[in-house]
Chains A and B, each alone.
Chain A
């Protein structure tokens, strides 16, 4: 098949928006093409409105293709699909008769230097992926932010040129997740919007903005509504949607707890009018999930979504105000958004709690308050008028207690669906 045949290439953004209800999607990736194909087929035929995922392995993410070759030769299981290693024909066969306009497939990768990955996914006929110059850099290794910004700019620009052949490329921000835990939602919302603006600045106009479920449902609702309002105000093109990620931290270890937490994420998505949800499975706390575990998670989320209702919450909130302040402060640093993002991190205007990356200032801290809300313990140099600096010392036990807050709440027998304070 010609990979650029537009009748056979999906318009991911348009598909999700026209789906007529919450679209659910796995985080799924296997080293073997046969298993990858089986996983996509099972996702497609699950009893839910789905799109497919090819999640890449860690070696491909860091560009260590030799390690992929060694692992495949020795029969060592990879934690994802090595799309750059396989010949394009292999990936075309994985997708053949499964991926297409009726079942778009997105590549999820976590790479700060994704040139080869973009080339490989486009070559095999896909037009949707994920990331961002900040969110695929700071949480994903040692690549300097300047290098990530430069490579992402170039990749987004060449990806945008798919429109010249009639294909609408789609990009999702990972900024609404970052390290997954202990970052107050306002900064996640701000980075998600800034990355969407970066995609627009480099020519991609079909985008989705992410937000990862955190420690308190009410706070999450507030955050997603803030995200929606900011997108409506700031994104130059209407082709955007919101994607919620089921919790991205220490996951419950019991199946009941895992399903309750996933269900809560589905409720959050529906409550806030979000269009798409990425699920987590019962295996999350231990190992890479099987195809079957993924299908069960997709179907569970879809059932919960069917009985959930949209909320009409206030779009104005402390989270909205704080996110807006951060976004404006960053945009005012430089007319080129990549430069603005780099300067923002250098000055500590953006600073992600507990992120060890050398380009992150590391002066901010988050904590969970007695209502279960994520708060600033230290705002470092964030340009937030209202500075917070509390003398809490972080201990190993205290950190693990905060990281385990959600796990503990959802694993508790007869857990209230709302996590109660317990730190």
Chain B
């Protein structure tokens, strides 16, 4: 850490889904996001939908990162994003999901499409590494914005881009 700028760039909420007990994924993501200069609220495992939505309404995060590896993530994550996207005060918050989202790795693409259609800005497939994710998180920091990869931005919901612009 240099002493240049130690103010966190904003808060990111990291969360598991209602049925998922795994936490190593959450601990890892928390560290990674903190290292990119954000404050993290880690809600832990088995998070009821209302707890996540209410926490977001309270802390007004710049981003919500949902992680699930137990194979039910494509179901729990879908219900969760629908609940989150109904809250007007959270309009425009960046929300992503990743991990092992189904019990059969063959269904990954189909699941991802459904999740994006329901309101996630990006879905990070298991095994793809965290490079793209890191770039997206960095992009939420004004001084690091150019690093957002153009191909990744195209995956973002179109109506979200101006919001990202604004936070710059």
Contact = CB atoms under 8 A, between A and B. Distances in A.
Contacts of A394: 31
A396 B105 contact: no
A396 B32 CA distance: 5
Contacts of A373: none
A141 B45 contact: yes
Q: Which of A57, A67, A79, A287 has the most chain B CB atoms closer than 10 A to its own CB?
A: A287
Interface in A53-88: 57-59, 61-62, 64, 67, 70-71, 76-79
Contact of A62 (B19, B27, B42, B127): B19
Given A58-B19, A356-B42, A79 B103 contact: yes
A287 B100 contact: yes
Interface residues of A, number: 34
Contacts of B20: 58
A362 B31 CA distance: 15
A181 interface: yes
B103 A356 contact: no
Given A355-B23, A400-B28, A142 B46 contact: yes
Interface in B5-43: 18-21, 23-24, 26-29, 31-32, 35, 42
A302 to B, nearest CB: 27
Contacts of B42: 356
Contacts of B126: 286
Given A67-B75, A141-B46, A78 B24 contact: no
B7 to A, nearest CB: 20
Contacts of B72: 57-59, 67, 71, 78-79
A15 interface: no
A399 B105 contact: no
B contact patch SS: loop
B103 A399 contact: no
A79 B71 contact: yes
Contact of B104 (A64, A180, A288, A400): A288
Interface in A105-145: 110, 139-142
Contact of B18 (A64, A78, A356): A64
Given A58-B19, A62-B18, A77-B71, A356 B104 contact: no
Q: Which of B72, B100, B102 has the most chain A CB atoms closer than 10 A to its own CB?
A: B72
A58 B44 contact: no
A181 B126 CA distance: 20
A356 B23 contact: yes
Contacts of B21: 58, 61-62, 110, 139-141
B52 to A, nearest CB: 13
Contacts of A76: 75
Contact of B44 (A62, A142, A179): A142
Q: Interface range on chain B: under 10, 10 to 19, 20 to 34, or 35 or more?
A: 20 to 34
Interface string A392-404: 0011100110010
Contacts of A140: 21, 45-46
Contacts of B29: 396
Contacts of A78: 72, 103
A287 B24 CA distance: 17
A356 B45 contact: yes
Contacts of A399: 27-28, 31
A139 B23 CA distance: 8
A8 to B, nearest CB: 32
Contacts of B47: 142
Nearest to A253: B127
A395 B28 CA distance: 8
B24 A79 contact: no
Given A58-B21, A142-B46, A287 B27 contact: no
Contacts of B103: 77-79, 287-288
B19 A77 contact: no
Q: Which of B21, B23, B26, B104 has the most chain A CB atoms closer than 10 A to its own CB?
A: B21
Nearest to B68: A58
Contacts of B127: 286
Q: What are the nearest 3 A-B pairs in CB distance? A: A141-B46, A396-B31, A396-B32
26 contacts: A57-B72, A58-B19, A58-B71, A58-B72, A61-B21, A64-B19, A67-B72, A71-B72, A77-B103, A78-B103, A79-B70, A110-B21, A140-B46, A141-B21, A181-B24, A286-B105, A287-B71, A287-B103, A288-B104, A356-B26, A356-B27, A356-B44, A395-B31, A395-B35, A396-B28, A399-B27
Interface of A: 57-59, 61-62, 64, 67, 70-71, 76-79, 110, 139-142, 179-181, 286-288, 354-357, 394-396, 399-400, 403
Given A58-B20, A286-B127, 11 more contacts: A58-B71, A61-B19, A70-B75, A79-B71, A141-B21, A286-B100, A286-B105, A287-B104, A288-B104, A395-B31, A403-B28
